[in-house]
Amino acid sequence: MKLKSLALAATLLAALTGPVAAQIKEHVFKVGIGLSDDHPQALAVKYFGEQLMAKSGGKMNAKLFASGSLGNDVSMTSALRGGTLEMTVPDSSTLVSLIKPFGVLNLPLTFNTEQEADAVLDGPFGQKLLAKLPEKGLIGLGYWENGFRHVTNSRRPITKADDIAGLKLRVIQNQLFLDTFSALGANATPMPFTELYSAMESSAVDGQENPPATILASKFFEVQKHLVLSRHMYSAWVLLMSKKTWDGLNAQEQKIVQDAAREATLYERKTIRAFSEKAVGELKKAGMQVTELPAAEQAKMRTKLQPVLAKFSKEFGEDTTAEMAGELAKLRK
């Protein structure tokens, strides 16, 4: 891929002469992520860099800083707002403290398929959310897939909704996640992702919830025995750039960034879905016991979560929640 990209960059550089070439300056965007450098998210950041190189005639690139080396989602997003970091790819839930309507994307048991999520996020609804970011010092370049979240733990298999009760589970530092797992009877414990592995290793927490790609790439199978395919929540990442960085680019450079981001978004979704399909099998091979939550038990989970859905639909904005529900209803016809 890199050789092809460099060859294309050389071709484009030859074509970018005169005023157009002069408009494109040298830029290397630092991109911090919390996940490991072999995770599909990291591969997509590298692909984004290759696309930038190709489209700018080799003048623009992205440099990956993985495994939380520049901080966690919250601190890196803050660094973007302050202009001390160029890019990051946090979970959309990280943005709720800045813009409440982003919270609707994580409402439990909302999306049925990845394709539904793509249609809502790429359509007017998702774009309207991204349009709220510049006032907070951020530019949203697209939604990347994290995926459907599942519960792991080191204590027991989960075969029904009630089995979650009593487990001490790490959750994202976000009130919706806290309330969701508290309503299911768990001892929900907020914690940065970068601290999670060691917390499970030391039994400070019994488990956590994340999509299969993250569970595998982060080697959670080394410290977790049980995985239930609960699909309790869909999770998206947002590819973000600092508005200060964005405002320092001219129109030609901004277009290159947007075009590269669009290509990288398609690549990321394709890559993570292929990885996720294989991940459950790999986790089984690594020794995890995998159970699936039956439809009847997922219905029980939905019943337990009704107060949470009601509370947060109101908190994130009843109009916003209704608008997303309307988009989903149209898709399901």
Domain definitions of the chain by residue range: 2-332
Residue 272 and residue 266 in contact, taking contact as beta carbons nearer than 8 Å = no
pTM of the model: 0.89
Reduced to 3 states (helix: H, G, I; strand: E, B; else coil), residue 304 is helix
Residue 8 clears pLDDT 90, i.e. is over it: no
Residue 23 pLDDT class (50, 70, 90 cuts): confident
Average pLDDT over residues 178-207: 97
Distance CA 188, CA 45 (A): 31
Residue 275 clears pLDDT 70, i.e. is over it: yes
Place of tokens 């997922």: 298
Residue 13 pLDDT class (50, 70, 90 cuts): low
Architecture of domain 2-332: 3-Layer(aba) Sandwich (3.40)
Residue 11 pLDDT class (50, 70, 90 cuts): low
Percent of the chain whose pLDDT exceeds 90: 91
Residue 29 and residue 78 in contact, taking contact as beta carbons nearer than 8 Å = no
* pLDDT attached to residue 225: 98
Reduced to 3 states (helix: H, G, I; strand: E, B; else coil), residue 188 is strand
Residue 19 clears pLDDT 90, i.e. is over it: no
Measure the CA angle with vertex 277, ends 64 and 228; round to 5°: 100
Place of tokens 């907020």: 190
* pLDDT attached to residue 173: 87
